[in-house]
Amino acid sequence: MDESVAGSATRPRILLVDDEESILNSLRRLLRSQPYELVLADSGARALEIMAAQPVDLVISDARMPNMDGATLLARIHDLYPSTLRILLTGYADLDMITKAINEGRIYRYLSKPWNDEELTLTVRQALAFQHSERERQRLQVLAREQNQQLQQLNATLEKRVLARTSEVQQTADMLDLAYEELKRSYAVTAEVFSRMVEWRLPKDKQTNRAVIDLVRAWCKATQSDETDSRNLAMAAALHNIGKMGWTDGMMGAPADQLHHTERERYRGYPKQSESLLMTLEPMQDAARLILHHQERWDGSGFPDHLKGEAIPLGSRVLKLAVDFVELQHGLILERRLNSDEALLFIRKYAGRLYDPDLVEEFIRVCAEHLSDVTTGDPRVKALGTRELEAGMVLARNLNADNGMLLLNAGKVLSAALVEKLIGFEAMEGAKYSVFVKVPEEVSPLEQAT
């Protein structure tokens, strides 16, 4: 049987089932002051007739009734109307009845008779709130899937696609912003939706949110951060750049150090814009504060408030490390894309100026453990200029020219002639390379003798 859409347009409908009229009257007196529509049935058969004729949000049934007991009725309702919540009232210490109701009826709760009025009304309120939240969550998931499919099917010109996508994203953002007030428990899902919307504005090779989220989660796990701090930091990682939603496509993908004066002012305003968008959502306020300050610098030269040192929230300091590490590799900070090791060397170089010096080495260790292409965490690996190279050193990672051309493969053992060629090539290109090498371990005189 197809399930009808349950509930009144304005008030939840509750079906009370008991073969004793006095019990039904007691339940009705208790609940009639609440914003519910009450329907009464004196048997299981009558309850099923009512549910066949009209949608019901919640059923409260007595356990012991003639012909059809409460557990059987609730099991039948579960089969026919699975979204209708079910509560069992039992006046007996009947373990078999309760077990049957849980296993077959999938009940939300069971309460003993005589019931406590406060407990019963609170249970009903919580059950309906849970049901409403679950329906909203399902509705938003369907809507998000539909929006994603529509975006993927756009085949117009680039300008038309961008305009249509921006319009749909804005509509989705506005709708989710309003819906979120009623759906606070689903804020983590909402954060992921917002994060994906920001990613849609960027070319695939410039999309960074997923990498930033994974990195801060690895940090939280490695540092054993508590659940609340971990959740807030992950939320901040997902939504740190939502304030960029109104930027032009060109500005979205441009390196920060290549922006013009007017664009640079707009760039410096995005943390505040991100925080403003999120502060109206109570569960996101702590994450919004981390986002607001994630572009502050340890020496006080950052923005928007020029906070310095430990005045910057710890989560913001961690988020800056993660964001800069990922964006350096995607060409969103410098015009040249750095590899992961070069990005970590950049962070180490600016420890005490841009970054908290007490966090940098721990961050490098987390990156080395979490990412397969990081060699900086290995104490045997050094980043050297071409004139510092010596014969016998082994390349720890591929060496590429500035134009992306592969010069040498990882694992290559350097010879004196090869070092000279690298120095000459570097001079010819007008470049300056950082070469990641493993320095051979020194051999003791005793080992040489043997």
pLDDT mean over 125-149 = 87
Taking the CA atoms of residue 221, residue 438, residue 339 and residue 378 in that order, the dihedral angle to the nearest 10 degrees is 10
**DSSP SS3 for 89:** strand
* Phi and psi at residue 110, to the nearest 5°: -125, 145
Asked if 88 and 110 count as a contact pair (C-beta separation under 8 A), the reply is yes
Task: Give the containing element (helix H, strand E) for 37.
Answer: strand 37-41
**DSSP SS3 for 151:** helix
d(CA 238, CA 242): 9
Q: What's the pLDDT band for 169 if we cut at 50, 70, 90?
A: low
d(CA 88, CA 8): 22
Q: What's the pLDDT band for 229 if we cut at 50, 70, 90?
A: very high
List alpha helices for 81-156, DSSP H: 95-103, 117-152
Asked if 26 and 91 count as a contact pair (C-beta separation under 8 A), the reply is no
pLDDT for 63 equals 85
Task: Give the containing element (helix H, strand E) for 408.
Answer: strand 406-408
Q: What's the pLDDT band for 190 if we cut at 50, 70, 90?
A: low
pLDDT for 351 equals 95
Give the number of other CB atoms < 10 A from CB of residue 61.
28
d(CA 443, CA 192): 53
Mean pLDDT of the chain: 83
Residue 78: alpha-carbon gap to chain centroid? 33
Place of tokens 């409908």: 13
Asked if 70 and 101 count as a contact pair (C-beta separation under 8 A), the reply is yes
Tell me: pLDDT of 393 over 50.
yes
Tell me: pLDDT of 442 over 70.
no
Of the ranges 21-30, 169-178, 331-340, which one carries the lowest mean pLDDT score?
169-178
pLDDT digits (tens, 9 = 90+) for 246-280: 888 888 888 998 888 889 999 999 999 989 888 87
- Length reported for the chain: 450
Any residues with CB less than 8 A from the CB of 298 and at least 6 apart, and which?
A: 308, 309, 312, 317, 351, 352, 353, 354, 355, 356, 357
Tell me: pLDDT of 195 over 90.
no
pLDDT for 28 equals 94
Q: What's the pLDDT band for 38 if we cut at 50, 70, 90?
A: very high
pLDDT for 321 equals 97
Per 3-state DSSP, the chain is made up of helix, strand and coil in percentages (nearest 5) of 55, 10, 35
Whole-structure pTM value: 0.51
* Phi and psi at residue 27, to the nearest 5°: -65, -40
CA distances from 188 to 171, 233, 268, 319 (A): 20, 12, 27, 18
pLDDT digits (tens, 9 = 90+) for 110-135: 888 888 999 999 999 998 998 888 88
Identify the bridge partners of residue 59 per DSSP, sorted by sequence position.
Answer: 15, 86
Output Rg (C-alpha) for the chain, integer angstroms: 31
- 122 vs 188, residue with greater confidence: 122
Residue 63: alpha-carbon gap to chain centroid? 43
d(CA 110, CA 87): 5
Closest among 24, 10, 15 to 52, alpha carbons compared: 15
Q: What's the pLDDT band for 154 if we cut at 50, 70, 90?
A: low
Q: Percent of the chain beyond pLDDT 70?
A: 83
Q: What's the pLDDT band for 5 if we cut at 50, 70, 90?
A: very low
d(CA 439, CA 434): 15
